[in-house]
Amino acid sequence: FGKHEDSAFHGRGSDVCLNVKDVNLLHWIGANSFRTSHYPYAEEMYDLCDREGIVVIDETPAVGIGMGESCDPYKNLRIHEHHREVVQQMIARDKNHPCVVMWSLGNEPDTEHFPQSAYEYWHPLYELAHACDPQNRRLLCLLPE
């Protein structure tokens, strides 16, 4: 499942009561995991998932980089340093949570139109994640054709 920290009741943001409800719904339907679409969540959610046995894929806010771009987004967008910081901070904060089983470095980037630039962008992040957490829990969600 992909999940967001928002609700019809309170709008955007973490809500402890809603998190408990969501985890109970996951148990009710027999699910045991979700992805933090598309950003790291409040720590209280990870604490709850640790207690309840829910598996989490922790994701950076790097969604759709370059989708629909006619020029090379990896050379034109100046986001790589910030992306590095987010990866480092997310892993440093969450790596000791038993519930976290993977680091999603990004979701649905365009790696097709500028493959060399995409490699030069993503490979150092992949290696950085490994340096921050050597357990080989890295992931990049690609969109197939």
pLDDT in tens, 92-121: 999 999 999 999 999 888 888 999 999 999
3-state helix, strand, coil in the chain (%, to 5): 40, 20, 40
How many domains in the chain?
1
Position 145 scores a pLDDT of: 54
Return the CATH number at 123.
3.20.20.80
The mean per-residue pLDDT over the stretch 8-30 comes to 90
pLDDT band at 137 (very low <50, low <70, confident <90, very high): confident
| Cβ–Cβ under 8 Å, residues 142 and 109 | yes
pLDDT in tens, 65-92: 887 778 898 988 899 999 999 999 999 9
| Cβ–Cβ under 8 Å, residues 54 and 23 | yes
Query: Annotated catalytic sites, by residue?
Result: 108
Range of the domain at 41: 2-141
Find all residues with CB under 8 Å of 37, minimum gap 6, and list them.
2, 3, 4, 59, 107
